[in-house]
């Protein structure tokens, strides 16, 4: 048996594992853990998460025309990837889909069939039913989406409306 091997009968640690070495290793492991706990959140903050919803160009609405018609405000909101959309029943019976996020500070707009406008309650911003900003602080029109009804399904897509 060599001098460096552990002899269980003597119940003594090998010569290269001293108390100082052991403490140095524990401190090294603890220091690595502390460094990782600091670096990992910073890296996660700097790298945006992958989003499977970022490039959505078309959605099938989880409701149909009857549900929109039965709403008191003749409109319903829907998720469009990371966006929130609103689909509105126009006075002539057509459906129009737009971004529901006000271009001022991103509050959700709502249909006001009594006034014939889309209204943002946050700062009294108003849009016409084509999405054009007509009064209040909104600086830009709402994005308008294309609507296609196929059978009883409603598909909303980006692109020309």
Residues binding ligand FES (CB under 6 A): 102, 104-105, 107, 120, 122-123, 125, 136-138
Beta carbon of residue 136, minimum distance to ligand FES (angstroms, whole number): 5
CA distance 17 to 4: 10
CB of 123 to ligand FES, least distance (A): 3
Given the complex with ligand FES, which of 90 and 107 has the nearer CB atom?
A: 107
In whole angstroms, how close is the CB of 161 to ligand FES at the nearest point?
21
Buried b (16+ CB within 10 A) or exposed e, 80-108: bbebebbbbbeeeeebbbbbbbbbbeeee
> Residue 109 Cβ, how far from ligand FES at the closest point, in Å?
7
Token output for 67 = 């549900």
Report the SS3 class of residue 21: helix
Pick between residue 85 and residue 147 the one whose CB is nearest to ligand FES: 85
């Amino acid at each position: 048996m060599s001098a460096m091997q552990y002899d269980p009968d003597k119940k003594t640690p090998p010569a290269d594992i001293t108390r100082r070495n052991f403490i140095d290793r524990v401190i090294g492991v603890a220091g690595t853990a502390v460094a990782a706990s600091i670096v990992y959140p910073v890296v996660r903050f700097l790298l945006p998460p992958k989003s499977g919803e970022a490039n959505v160009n078309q959605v099938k609405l989880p409701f149909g025309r009857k549900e929109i018609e039965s709403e008191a405000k003749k409109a319903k909101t829907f998720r469009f990837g990371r966006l929130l959309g609103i689909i509105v029943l126009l006075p002539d019976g057509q459906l129009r889909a737009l971004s529901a996020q006000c271009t001022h500070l991103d509050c959700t707009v709502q249909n006001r069939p009594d006034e014939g406008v889309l209204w943002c309650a946050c700062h009294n911003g108003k849009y016409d039913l084509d999405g054009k900003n007509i009064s209040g602080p909104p600086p830009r029109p709402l994005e308008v989406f294309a609507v296609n009804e196929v059978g009883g399904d409603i598909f909303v897509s980006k692109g020309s409306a």
